[in-house]
Amino acid sequence: MSIATAQQSSGSILELIAQAKTRESAMFTEAEGKTLLSSFGIDTPQGVELELGAPVPQHLREPLVVKAVSKTLVHKSDAGGVKVGITAAELPAVTEAMKASLAAAGHQLEGVLVEEMIPAGHEIIVGAVRAPGLGWTVMVGLGGILVEVFEDVAFGLAPLNDTQILGMLNELKGMKVLDGARGGIKADIPALVDLIGKLAGPHGLLAALPDDVQEIDLNPIIVSESRAVAVDARFVVGKVEEDAAATTRSASTTDFSPLFRPARIAVLGASGKRPNMANRFIQNITAGGFAGTIIPVNPTADTLEGLPAIGSLAELTEPVDYAFVALPGGRVAQALSTGKGMVRFAQVVSSGFGEVEEGKELEAELIRTVKDAGIRLIGPNCLGTHSSAGKLSFVPQAPLTAGTTAVISQSGGLSVDILRVGAASGIDFHSVVSIGNSADVSAAELLAAHLEDDEVQVIGLYLESLSIARDVMDVLTTAVTRKPVVLLAGGRTQGGSRAATSHTGALAGNHRLWPAIARQAGITLVDSIGDFASALHALSTLDLSVKPAGNEAVLFGNGGGASVLGADALDRQGISTTPLPDAIIAELESLEVPPGNGFHNPIDVPAGTLAVKKGAVAEDILGVVLGGTEPAVLITHLNVGIIQRNLGATHGDVTGTIIDSIAVARDKSKSNTHQILVLKTDGSEDTEAMITDYSARARKINIPVFATFEDAALATRAVLEQSIQIHQPTLSAKGK
Ligand code: ADP
Ligand code: MG
């Protein structure tokens, strides 16, 4: 619709809102809602609201539908307030019956809405509900039993473009039904997408609605072969909730490199009498080889941890890049105020700020102080910043091998686990920043900086707040540079968060909104710290200039049962293991190897075959596969204990040779196939030790290694999802 019409209708929307507030239901009448819908080009049935006893106007074509009008009625059918397929002549009798059944349910019939009956089609529910910090969340589901019982719904965040709307529809398990499965009606999907776009698109109705409108249900929309018509409309007016994300973000101008490579660090809070977190911080970075200057700040001590101290930041003669602040909460602002113009980043690990009600004012004061002092604040209520290249860390014996994986974490404790578990999984970190309350520097701002930083190639996020995730989404959907992003989200199981009048409100739980944000932002969402580490390990180890196509895997390794389980694990992540073409199988069969091999897919060979050429046979086998096909991934799995115990004495380092052969076959073929390795343990100490060595060897030649098929399958999904984002920035990301 044109802007002019949108403005015209916004005046009348305010009137509708005022009227709705006078009703017990707090809703627009159905007729009002439908008029509003049609002013935005959304198809609704022809109809009129009639006073009791009034005749049906000539222009309405039978069959007709009669619906009760009553201030208190919400679910009309439940109270006998809907009658479909009647003639005009039947209206008086229908009205009488309706009056009685409404009275029995405690409602008074005030009038009737008479409208044309829309021919049969699929019943779809489309709804929208405002969520604090997120704006409009939009739901689509298949009406009737599929929504009620199976809750087969998909969510998205407005504004939505057509590609995103189609993406939501495709997420529905019942989508096949819409496509006309088993001889049913083939729904006019483009008409449905168009309707949802008129509601939730950039210029749609939602964008024009004032804050007072909180929930909308179009339940159902009847989608036939040639039309999508909203036959019911519920607009709920409610209290405006405070919108945490309503603040507009201004683009960051901060250069974060001094944070990750600080030359001078001030430490506030270390004690000469009772060593605490700040003392440990100094000990940790000293032990880690931090090469710059550490300046303890303490009003009473001359030296701390063997280093000369200054009394306050006012005594600084040169700026510091990073101040680690572990003072009692109440003293932080004052202490930082003395560092005006002399501190680039201050990380306040102290708690007792905005995370508790009584600390809100303290946090506001802290923000005012750092703004005034020209300091960028990280935290408060966090643990610190880890930067491998900067030899800066908040954990003892931190893994400091510099890498390309940057993590931003809303939880301090978990950021320690991320570092430890991640390093054990083969991740070399660029950085891990624990952002705590993110009162100043936000996850979105750091992410934007990482996207511009060549030293960062893969980004991991641990978030607990949907509104922070929404800010992250906004950065990703408008960013020029795209990098793989993996999200571990905390608090995903919470159910519907509000007492809702609408279906949509009842279904808009966190567990549905996280996947919606992840899908729209092109982020891979994972469930556990192990999965987080697996995904980041694969993404940071593989050469991501490779462009895998499709979602097929070839499995190669020893152990028939293992292969079958591997294929199952892949299948659960949506990756298929289809048989190889006959020509390739024939070529594999012509290789000079002992009998007993299965050359379909999975390619499953006994240890005796792997021993051929002391393991270098792997190069031949993989060469044949990559010469004739181009699966998205080729997963080699080796039972290291069995191979080395059976073959080690006679054939030497077969496992190592196989690993090297994978890289040789990969490099020779130049195919768009990623190589992934699963090294299975038998639990013995010897084997575990060998696996540690082999894993390091494989990683050096850009082959990620996993202990189980489940981990490898999860990582494969992450790699395939993120490859799409990197190589073909989707319309979902750009078409706003
Ligand atoms: P409720 O308040 O109970 O949700 P609805 O207005 O959705 O009432 O009507 C109940 C059902 O009647 C709908 O789910 C739909 O199947 C059918 N219906 C309502 N209006 C029409 C119409 N104009 N054409 C065809 N079917 C309709
Ligand atoms: Mg309805």
pLDDT score recorded for residue 497 = 47
Q: How far is Cα 468 from Cα 475, in angstroms, rounded to an integer?
A: 11
What is the distance in A from the centroid of ligand 2 to the CA of 37?
15
Pocket test for ligand 1, best of 37, 60, 70, 84 (most atoms within 8 A of CB): 84
**Higher-confidence position of 241 and 556:** 556
The per-residue b/e assignment along 611-630, b for 16 or more CB within 10 angstroms, e otherwise, is bbbbbebbbbbbbbbbeebb
What is the distance in A from the centroid of ligand 2 to the CA of 77?
8
Q: Is 220 in the pocket of ligand 1 (CB under 6 A)?
A: yes
pLDDT grade for 177, boundaries at 50, 70 and 90: confident
Average pLDDT in the 393-412 region?
A: 96
Which tokens sit at 466? Answer: 């949907």
Q: Is 117 in the pocket of ligand 1 (CB under 6 A)?
A: yes
What is the distance in A from the centroid of ligand 1 to the CA of 138?
21
Q: Is 221 in the pocket of ligand 1 (CB under 6 A)?
A: no
Average pLDDT in the 484-488 region?
A: 98
Q: For Cα atoms 127, 498, 15, give the angle at the middle one, nearest 5 degrees.
A: 60
Ligand at minimal distance from the CA of 144 is: 1
Q: Is 75 in the pocket of ligand 1 (CB under 6 A)?
A: yes
Instruction: Fold for 254-381, please state it.
Output: Rossmann fold (3.40.50)
Q: How far is Cα 522 from Cα 516, in angstroms, rounded to an integer?
A: 10
Ligand at minimal distance from the CA of 30 is: 1
Ligand 1: atom nearest CA of 119 is 25
Q: Is 118 in the pocket of ligand 1 (CB under 6 A)?
A: yes
Residue nearest to atom 15 of ligand 1 (CA): 220
Domain borders along the chain are: 10-116, 122-237, 254-381, 401-541, 545-726
Q: Is 122 in the pocket of ligand 1 (CB under 6 A)?
A: no
pLDDT score recorded for residue 725 = 92
Average pLDDT in the 666-689 region?
A: 96
CATH number of the domain at 401-541, out of 3.60.9.10, 3.40.50.1010, 3.30.2080.10, 3.40.50.261? 3.40.50.261
Q: How far is Cα 20 from Cα 25, in angstroms, rounded to an integer?
A: 8
Residue pair 57/46 in contact (Cβ under 8 Å)? The answer is: no
Q: Does 341 score more than 60 pLDDT? A: yes
pLDDT score recorded for residue 179 = 85
Least confident of 150-159, 371-380, 429-438: 150-159
Q: How far is Cα 656 from Cα 670, in angstroms, rounded to an integer?
A: 22
What is the distance in A from the centroid of ligand 2 to the CA of 80?
13
What is the distance in A from the centroid of ligand 2 to the CA of 100?
21
Q: Does 6 score more than 50 pLDDT? A: no
Ligand 1: atom nearest CA of 45 is 23
Q: Does 27 score more than 80 pLDDT? A: yes
Other Cβ atoms within 10 Å of 163 Cβ, number: 14
Q: Is 234 in the pocket of ligand 1 (CB under 6 A)?
A: no
Q: Is 710 in the pocket of ligand 1 (CB under 6 A)?
A: no
Q: Is 121 in the pocket of ligand 1 (CB under 6 A)?
A: no
Ligand 1: atom nearest CA of 77 is 3
At 612-649, the pLDDT tens digits run: 999 999 999 999 999 999 999 999 999 999 999 999 99
Q: Does 596 score more than 90 pLDDT? A: yes
Strand order in the sheet with 293-297: 293-297, 264-268, 320-325, 343-348, 376-378
Q: Does 533 score more than 90 pLDDT? A: yes
Q: How far is Cα 653 from Cα 616, in angstroms, rounded to an integer?
A: 11
At 298-316, the pLDDT tens digits run: 999 999 999 999 999 999 9
Residue nearest to atom 3 of ligand 1 (CA): 77
Q: Does 732 score more than 50 pLDDT? A: no
Q: Does 180 score more than 90 pLDDT? A: no
What is the distance in A from the centroid of ligand 2 to the CA of 220?
5
Average pLDDT in the 693-706 region?
A: 98
What is the distance in A from the centroid of ligand 2 to the CA of 556?
54
pLDDT score recorded for residue 577 = 97
Ligand 1: atom nearest CA of 143 is 14
Domain 122-237 in CATH 3.10.129.10? The answer is: no
Residue nearest to atom 7 of ligand 1 (CA): 232
H/E element holding 72? none
**Higher-confidence position of 505 and 408:** 408
At 190-224, the pLDDT tens digits run: 999 999 999 999 999 999 999 999 999 999 999 99
Ligand at minimal distance from the CA of 81 is: 1
Q: Does 520 score more than 50 pLDDT? A: yes
Residue nearest to atom 5 of ligand 1 (CA): 232
pLDDT score recorded for residue 501 = 62
What is the distance in A from the centroid of ligand 2 to the CA of 126?
11
- How far out from the chain centre does Cα 611 lie? 44
Least confident of 131-145, 394-408, 610-624: 131-145
Three-class DSSP category at 430:
strand
Residue nearest to atom 6 of ligand 1 (CA): 232
Domains 401-541 and 545-726 share a fold: yes
Ligand 1: atom nearest CA of 47 is 23
Ligand 1: atom nearest CA of 78 is 3
Average pLDDT in the 420-428 region?
A: 97
Ligand 1: atom nearest CA of 75 is 2
List the alpha helices (DSSP H) in 599-653. Answer: 607-610, 617-628, 640-651
pLDDT score recorded for residue 736 = 37
pLDDT score recorded for residue 84 = 97
What is the distance in A from the centroid of ligand 2 to the CA of 141?
13
Q: Does 724 score more than 80 pLDDT? A: yes
What is the distance in A from the centroid of ligand 1 to the CA of 20?
21
Pocket test for ligand 1, best of 29, 62, 65, 224 (most atoms within 8 A of CB): 65
pLDDT score recorded for residue 156 = 97
pLDDT score recorded for residue 241 = 66
Mean pLDDT of the chain: 93
Ligand 1: atom nearest CA of 116 is 23
Residue 301: name the closest of 309, 293, 289, 313 by CA. 309
What is the distance in A from the centroid of ligand 2 to the CA of 232?
5
What proportion of the chain, given as a percentage, has pLDDT over 70? 94
At 246-262, the pLDDT tens digits run: 444 556 789 999 999 99
pLDDT score recorded for residue 42 = 98
Q: Is 33 in the pocket of ligand 1 (CB under 6 A)?
A: no
pLDDT grade for 676, boundaries at 50, 70 and 90: very high
Instruction: Fold for 545-726, please state it.
Output: Rossmann fold (3.40.50)
At 41-86, the pLDDT tens digits run: 999 999 999 999 999 999 999 999 999 999 999 899 999 999 999 9
Q: Is 43 in the pocket of ligand 1 (CB under 6 A)?
A: no
Q: Is 197 in the pocket of ligand 1 (CB under 6 A)?
A: no
pLDDT score recorded for residue 731 = 42
Residue 437: name the closest of 465, 476, 473 by CA. 465
Q: Is 377 in the pocket of ligand 1 (CB under 6 A)?
A: no
pLDDT score recorded for residue 10 = 60
CATH number of the domain at 10-116, out of 3.90.550.10, 3.40.50.300, 1.20.970.10, 3.30.1490.20? 3.30.1490.20
Q: Does 728 score more than 80 pLDDT? A: no
CB within 8 Å of 274: residues ≥ 6 apart: none
Which pTM does this prediction carry?
A: 0.91
What is the distance in A from the centroid of ligand 2 to the CA of 528?
39
Least confident of 154-168, 231-245, 315-329: 231-245
Q: Does 100 score more than 50 pLDDT? A: yes
Residue 631: name the closest of 723, 717, 515, 550 by CA. 550
